[in-house]
Amino acid sequence: MEDNERKLRLAVVGCGAVAAIHHLPALSLCQHAEAVVLVDADPGRARDLAARFGVPETATDIRSLPGRVDAAIVALPNSLHAPVSIDLLRQGVHVLVEKPMALNVSECDAMIAAAEAGRAVLAVGLEFRFFDSSLFVRNLLRDGLLGKIQRFEMHQGVIPRWPFATDFLLKKETAGGGVLADFGVHVLDLLLWWLGDWTDLEYRDDAQGGIESDCELLLALRSGDTGTVTGTVEISRTRNLANTCLFEGERASLEVGIWDPDPAIRLLLADREVALDGRARRTEGSGVDFLEAFVRQIDDFAAAIREGREPHVPGREGRRSQALIEECYARRQPLELPWSVVSGGRT
């Protein structure tokens, strides 16, 4: 194999659930990248996963990685994304960092600067952008096929069934936030990618000094050359919601699933009784699942390194959603819940 066709040597840093369920199975299918070392503070966990996926080496820290690997997937608790990524990027190790990119915008900026200093590629793990449906929606909106967008409505809620390896998501200092920083980063990233930068917002959640499980946004976005569009976003960890996004345009409305990687899509022309219902498909294949989305993400990361280009989701794009999340928390207002109101007044 020629050197420019050699597989990318990857370290997976962090051997929790997302590595075991998504990254390592995807790497086993990738043609252009392979895991050569697993890094975790728990050596037993790293050894178990290495044996399961045929990874030749394990380590307990990142100090030995430069020179041994070309790149790393950073799948650690959120509070460690920035310091570990910065250390690797400065030494020329390319990084694909899990979402959210960091705890705040300052950390995002430091990561981007480290990538520039080390001449390394920095990609952010927002794999929803690799769904065929996500690209289909972006193209429809970009090409103006719905007409001027008048409003949007997004509902995303799943009661967690994830096999957490640690409790970091339950602590503000390690997670950075609650459901908005966890689930919400995906849906906010899609809205920013589909419609444009935000211009104004109102935000409410149920944090009450801790981390939020439910939140609501009234969000204004700059929609191409057609002005500003306002819509609502509802995100929940306590309820299973519709998990759809609805766009209403002058000529048509579009509804798409946002949690299923191969969702139903419904297109209804204005003032018509017949709708189109179907699924987005690439011309050469069938529908995508989560595993395929992670394979596409890693293959794109490897191609960006090989070709000297930006990845599909570069650091500056991860920064956009983090900046919006940070602004939401800065403008936080209490979310009114049914059980917080009693007869004759508030509790």
Residues of the chain with CATH 3.40.50.720: 3-128+293-313
- Per-residue pLDDT tens digits for 308-337: 999 999 999 999 999 999 999 999 999 987
49 three-state secondary structure? helix
CB proximity list for 48: less than 8 A, separation 6 or greater: none
pLDDT exceeds 50 at position 343: no
Between residues 304 and 283, which one has the greater pLDDT? 304
Q: What is the pLDDT of residue 284?
A: 67
- Per-residue pLDDT tens digits for 68-85: 999 999 999 999 999 999
Q: Distance (Å, rounded) from C-alpha 129 to C-alpha 133?
A: 9
Instruction: Please give the structure tokens belonging to residue 28.
Output: 């086993």
Question: How confident is residue 347, by pLDDT bands cut at 50, 70 and 90?
Answer: very low
May I ask the CATH architecture of the domain 129-286+324-334? 2-Layer Sandwich (3.30)
Q: What is the pLDDT of residue 213?
A: 95
- Per-residue pLDDT tens digits for 3-33: 456 899 999 999 999 999 999 999 999 999 9
- Per-residue pLDDT tens digits for 123-157: 999 999 999 999 999 999 999 999 999 999 999 99
Q: What is the pLDDT of residue 344?
A: 46
- Locus of tokens 């509902």: 155
Between residues 160 and 87, which one has the greater pLDDT? 87
Between residues 174 and 310, which one has the greater pLDDT? 310
Neighbouring CB atoms inside 10 A of 231's CB total 21
pLDDT exceeds 60 at position 61: yes
The whole-chain average pLDDT of the chain stands at 92
Kindly state the average pLDDT of the residues 161-179.
78
Q: What is the pLDDT of residue 1?
A: 42
Under CATH, what is the fold of the domain 3-128+293-313?
Rossmann fold (3.40.50)
pLDDT exceeds 90 at position 162: no
- Per-residue pLDDT tens digits for 89-134: 999 999 999 999 999 999 999 999 999 999 999 999 999 999 999 9
Residues of the chain with CATH 3.30.360.10: 129-286+324-334
Contact 102, 83 (CB under 8 A): no
Q: Distance (Å, rounded) from C-alpha 95 to C-alpha 124?
A: 8
Question: How confident is residue 273, by pLDDT bands cut at 50, 70 and 90?
Answer: confident
What's the distance, Cα to Cα, between the start and end of the chain in Å?
A: 69
Amino acid identity, position 234: E
- Locus of tokens 């049914």: 338
Q: What is the pLDDT of residue 339?
A: 63
Torsion, Cα 200 206 212 214, to 10 degrees, reads -80
Q: What is the pLDDT of residue 170?
A: 72
Nearest to residue 43, comparing CAs of 62, 25, 61, 66? 61
Contact 196, 221 (CB under 8 A): yes
Q: Distance (Å, rounded) from C-alpha 20 to C-alpha 302?
A: 20
Amino acid identity, position 255: E
- Locus of tokens 């370290």: 11
pTM over 0.85: yes
